[in-house]
Amino acid sequence: MDIKLKVGQRIKELRLQLGLSQEALANKADVDRTYMTDVENGRRNISVEVLERIIMALEISYADFFNAKEFMK
């Protein structure tokens, strides 16, 4: 599986656990909602700076973000 898709799936999984819409998460991370849609669907190669903003908006540590089944292979 492509790393962009793995990152996107993890973001979506965490967003849904928090009960956030894509728009709410995008606002918290200071990115456009359509950009967030593309990230979650693996269509964007996001920078580490944007990934950091999303992780902070999800209120999770880097370790917890990457400690998921998507990244264990």
Domain spans of the chain, in order of start:
3-71
Give residue-wise pLDDT tens across range 33-44: 999 999 999 999
The predicted model gives 29-58 an average pLDDT of 97
Give residue-wise pLDDT tens across range 15-31: 999 999 999 999 999 99
Q: Please, which pLDDT band fits residue 47 given cuts at 50, 70 and 90? A: very high
pLDDT at 70: 81
pTM of the model: 0.92
Give 20's contacts (C-beta < 8 A, 6+ positions apart): 28
pLDDT at 1: 72
Q: Spell out the CATH class of 3-71.
A: mainly alpha
